[in-house]
Amino acid sequence: MAGDTGDHEGLAALAALLERVAEAVLNEQSTESGCSFVHFGDLDFAGLTHYIQLRNRLGDAITFWSPQDIGVDLFKHLGNRVLFKRQMSSAKYSIENLRRGLRGDEDALHILRLIVETGCVIEQEALHNEFLRPRD
C-alpha cells in the first residue's frame, strides 16, 4: 500500500506534464494559423509568470487581460495580502525578473505596478465574482 501513494503522485505528475505539452503544441499550431489568445490568469506573481512563459512561446499572439477600469481601489477591495506576502517571500518570484519579462507590455506592467503599490494580489475567482456576476 505504501507504493500506491507514490504511484498516484507519479501518474498525476505525468498527466500534468502531458497536459502542458499538449497545450504548448496546440497554442503554437494555433498561432501559426493566425489565432490570438488572451490570458485570464490570477493577478499575482504566479499568473504573471505563467503569462511570461506563454508570451515567450507565442509572442504577440497573446495578450494579458486587464480591464481598463482596474486600479488601486479594486486591488484593495478584492486583494489578498497574505498571498502577496507568501509570494514575495518565495524564491520563485522576483519583481525585477517580472518587470524584465513584461517589458513592452503596458497592460501587464500596469497590473504588476498595482500589485507592488497595494501589497495585494487578486485570484481569478475573485475577479469572476466581480465581473461575471449577474447585474441587478
Question: In this structure, are 19 and 72 located in the same domain?
Answer: no
Question: At which residue does the C-alpha cell 517580472 appear?
Answer: 98
Q: Residue 115's closest CA among 133, 136, 86, 95?
A: 95
| Residues 66 and 108: beta-carbon distance below 8 Å | yes
Question: In this structure, are 74 and 111 located in the same domain?
Answer: yes
Question: In this structure, are 18 and 75 located in the same domain?
Answer: no
Percentage of the chain beyond pLDDT 90 is 46
Question: In this structure, are 9 and 65 located in the same domain?
Answer: no
Mean pLDDT of the chain: 82
Question: In this structure, are 18 and 49 located in the same domain?
Answer: no
User: For the chain, what is the domain count?
Assistant: 2
Question: In this structure, are 66 and 115 located in the same domain?
Answer: yes
pLDDT tens for residues 46-102?
999 999 998 998 888 889 988 777 899 999 999 999 999 999 998 889 999 999 999
Question: In this structure, are 6 and 54 located in the same domain?
Answer: no
Q: What's the confidence (pLDDT) of residue 83?
A: 94
Q: What's the confidence (pLDDT) of residue 127?
A: 79
Question: In this structure, are 75 and 114 located in the same domain?
Answer: yes
Question: In this structure, are 88 and 69 located in the same domain?
Answer: yes
Domain boundaries, position 23: 1-35
